[in-house]
Amino acid sequence: MAISRRTFIKAASLGSVAASLPKRSWASSSTVSRTHRSAKVVVLGMDGMEPSLLRRFMNEGIMPTFKRFLEGGGSLQNLATTMPPQSPVAWSSFISGTNPGGHGIYDFIHRDPATFTPYLSTSRSSGSSKHLEIGGYKIPLVAGKMDLMRQGPTLWTTLEEHDVPATVFQIPANFPVTSASTRAVSGMGTPDLLGGYGICSYFTDDYVTGMKSDGAKIRRVRVIDHKVEAKITGPRNTFKDGEPETDVPFTLYRDPWEPTLRIDILGQRIVLREGEFSDWVPISFELLPYFASIGGVVRFYAKQVHPRLKLYVTPINIDPMDPAFPICSPPEYSRELAEAVGRFYTQGLPADTKALQNGILSDDDYLRQAKIVLEENLRVLHHELDRFHEGLFYFYFSSLDQNCHMLYRNMDPAHPLYDPKASEEVKNAVRYFYRQMDLALKDTLAKVGSDATVLIASDHGFGHFTREFHLSSWLVQEGYTKLKVPLGETEGDVYNIVDWSKTRAYALGINGIYVNMIGREKNGIVAPTDAQALKDEIAAKLIAVTDPQNGNAIISNVYDSLRIYSGPFMALAPDLQVGYRPNYRVSDEGILGKFPATIIGDRTNKWASDHCIDPIFVPGVLLSNREIRIQDPAIWDMAPSILTLMGLPTPRSMTGRNIFAV
């Protein structure tokens, strides 16, 4: 029996695993038989909208729609967020109507205690275990597998059971998409075509100094008679022995006098002036000659043409016109959108924060890209608003979150990384993106009609991040983690340099600490009966830690997971969750278990504002054109409230309240 091209692609992992997903039924809203029309609920998810900035900008007059929305009878309240206040955790609580114990997402990074393998918390993939080997190629006989790690029922599960139509655009923690009849495109958690979360390419004939290769493939090229031959590296070819990298060649021509480039790639010709991004360019990587390939899309950016060549290429996004992986439901939905409004970023974190952090893009370069991301979002928003008539419409914006992380520092002259020489566009970038959210609300209100309930929700707020705490090194200093090498000499896999026979606790992820417990961890040494005393001891010591620079306390609270979570998936939780005070957060090294020689230091990375601290300091916001009747709404209250608006029952698994009833 012949094996189709799509079967081959689905058997490859990210670099070529696609999903084995449940059978779906694609009943459209126009064909479902109903006895009554559904209510209309619109939710604009504005990730990272900070309450104090919202109020400040309304007072400054740059958010007139929000102001009129409230003056016309709307409600505004802070929205309590999850512990930790991380986007995949908080939006999972929005989706599931419960605390993390009910959905199993506790951080961006989780760990498998049986194997000590860290993994991104929202999805996991595995390749095919059975192959037929023919002439150096490994042909999969069984499809690979990709799992959504968020557990439990969802808001749209109940809507589907009652034939209520729903559209959910790019909500985080929803890849791979497994909806039955909801129209959905996945968001944060969707990888690029290499299986990572943002691996760009950078081609230059300059001497590369001061740049980090983390999150980038840096290629030094030779310019001969103003011509360059280069390749874009693609996913590994899991069909071949050794799984070599695939690539796509391209030729670049530089105008000798003008700041202009021409790029020839796969029969396409792109002309760019310096400082210009290209449109999306489809590219394809061959897996089996003449038979199987996998496609993606990139944008080129002519960072500099003369005197040095500097060409940036975005991470290879999954092509919405022909997605190789399950980014949408129904399967043709992303193509339908791309045909209507143009291709768009499918990578879960679209703005390339790593390229800015690592010196590949400047603040102005990054801002140009961030505006493209938002422009694409707005085109999709307008298209979908024109088609929305009933049910639920959820639309997600990443712009406030990503751009506050990277550019908030340049709005505040008191920030240590404020650049007084930054362009006015960069200094006003945060205001610009808040203004765009105001315009998005204006367009939404104009199109949905007065009979719709309109909600604007953010998953957390924001604050500056100027001092970083090496939690993993502190655990070593206090004797809870034992290393085989001295602090500061810890290159390599964290699991290979830790002496597990003497380690009682270890850090992994942004906020979590785990007890090395017998019967759970692969090399556990702490008896379950001793775990509580150990947790209490660590928590007491952490609360007492102060910054030697100024004497300030670093940590506000250390939360015991057994005391703050409930539900069927608590076994996945870290044993302790660390709640930092404003201006502090765990270091990047500490997130993945590296062990710097110092315990605390200045934050020098351009990712210089954050929210992964104690949730009491970073609530989100909630606005509604319907009266909010409780004083302390939380993000896990949203799903039950929306279902109640629809006249539907709330599943017993949803522990949130109805915010519209006393």
Whether the predicted pLDDT of 15 surpasses 50: no
pLDDT per residue over 280-323, tens digit each? Answer: 999 999 988 877 889 999 999 999 999 999 999 999 999 999 99
How confident is residue 608, by pLDDT bands cut at 50, 70 and 90?
very high
Q: How confident is the model at residue 126 (pLDDT cuts 50, 70, 90)?
A: low
Q: What is the pLDDT of residue 272?
A: 98
Q: Which of 208-217, 329-338, 407-416 has the lowest mean pLDDT?
A: 208-217
pLDDT in tens, 513-569: 999 999 999 999 999 999 999 999 999 999 999 999 999 999 999 999 999 999 999
Q: What pLDDT was estimated at residue 111?
A: 86
* pLDDT bracket for residue 210 (50, 70, 90): low
- The whole-model pTM stands at 0.92
Beta strands per DSSP E along 158-280: 166-169, 183-185, 200-204, 216-220, 227-236, 245-254, 260-265, 268-273
Task: Give the confidence band of 20 by pLDDT, cuts at 50, 70, 90.
Answer: very low
The residues pairing with 77 across neighbouring beta strands, listed in sequence order, are: 622
Q: Which of 250-254, 271-275, 495-499, 630-634 has the least mean pLDDT?
A: 495-499
Average pLDDT on 170-196 reads 93
Distance CA 171, CA 155 (A): 12
Provide the edge-to-edge strand list for the sheet that holds 512-515.
Answer: 505-507, 512-515, 576-580, 555-560
Predicted local distance difference test score (pLDDT) of residue 239: 80
Instruction: Report pLDDT for 24.
Output: 34
pLDDT digits (tens, 9 = 90+) for 212-258: 777 789 999 999 999 999 999 999 888 888 889 999 999 999 999 99
- pLDDT score recorded for residue 1: 29
Question: For a pLDDT cut of 90, what percent of the chain falls above it?
Answer: 79
Average pLDDT over residues 579-588: 97
Mean pLDDT estimate for the chain: 90
Q: Which pLDDT score, from 0 to 100, does residue 28 have?
A: 36
Q: What is the pLDDT of residues 427-456, one digit of tens each?
A: 999 999 999 999 999 999 999 999 999 999
Residue 489 has pLDDT above 80, yes or no: no
Task: Give the percent of the chain with pLDDT over 70.
Answer: 90
Q: Place 627 in a pLDDT band, splitting at 50, 70 and 90.
A: very high
User: Looking at residues 617-634, what average pLDDT do you find?
Assistant: 97
pLDDT of residue 493: 65
Cβ-count burial 616-655 (b if 16+ within 10 Å, e if not):
ebbbbbbbbbbebeeeebbbbbbbbbbbbbbebebbebbb
By mean pLDDT, which of 24-28, 63-67, 104-108, 538-542 is the weakest?
A: 24-28
**Which residues are within 8 A (CB) of 253 and not within 5 positions of it... i.e. 6 or more apart?**
226, 227, 228, 261, 262, 263, 264
Give the pLDDT band of residue 136 (cuts 50, 70, 90): low
What is the average per-residue pLDDT within 357-377?
Answer: 97
Which strand (E) or helix (H) includes residue 387?
A: helix 363-387
Q: Band the pLDDT of 491: cuts 50, 70, 90.
A: low
Return the pLDDT at 607: 97
**pLDDT (0 to 100) of residue 516:** 97
Q: How far lies 239's CA from each of 139, 145, 235, 322, 324, in Å?
A: 6, 16, 11, 21, 16
- CA dihedral sign of residues 54, 60, 65, 66: positive
Long-range contacts formed by 289-293: CB under 8 A, 24+ apart? 291/5, 291/8, 292/5, 292/8, 292/9, 292/239, 293/5, 293/9
By CB neighbour count within 10 A (0-12 exposed, 13-18 middle, 19+ buried), where does 400 fall? buried
Q: Distance of CA 516 to CAs 171, 475, 559, 589, 623, Å?
A: 34, 13, 18, 20, 43
CATH 1.10.150 fits 465-602, yes or no: no
pLDDT of 6 over the 60 cut: no
Pick from 466, 614, 477: nearest CA to 541: 477
Report CA-CA distances (Å) from 75 to 153, 354, 395: 29, 37, 20
Is the model more confident about 109 or about 644? 644
Phi-psi region of 449 (alpha: psi -120 to 50; beta: other; left: phi over 0): left
Stretch among 68-77, 102-111, 484-493 having the lowest mean pLDDT:
484-493
* Least confident among 114-128, 157-171, 299-313, 404-418: 114-128
Tens digits of residue pLDDT in 148-175: 889 988 999 999 999 999 999 999 999 9
pLDDT tens digits, residue range 263-283? 999 999 999 999 999 999 999
Domain range summary for the chain, segments of one domain joined by +: 465-602
Q: How confident is the model at residue 22 (pLDDT cuts 50, 70, 90)?
A: very low
- Cα dihedral 67, 72, 78, 82 in deg (nearest 10): -110
Amino acid 550: pLDDT:
95
What is the Cα Rg of the chain in Å?
25
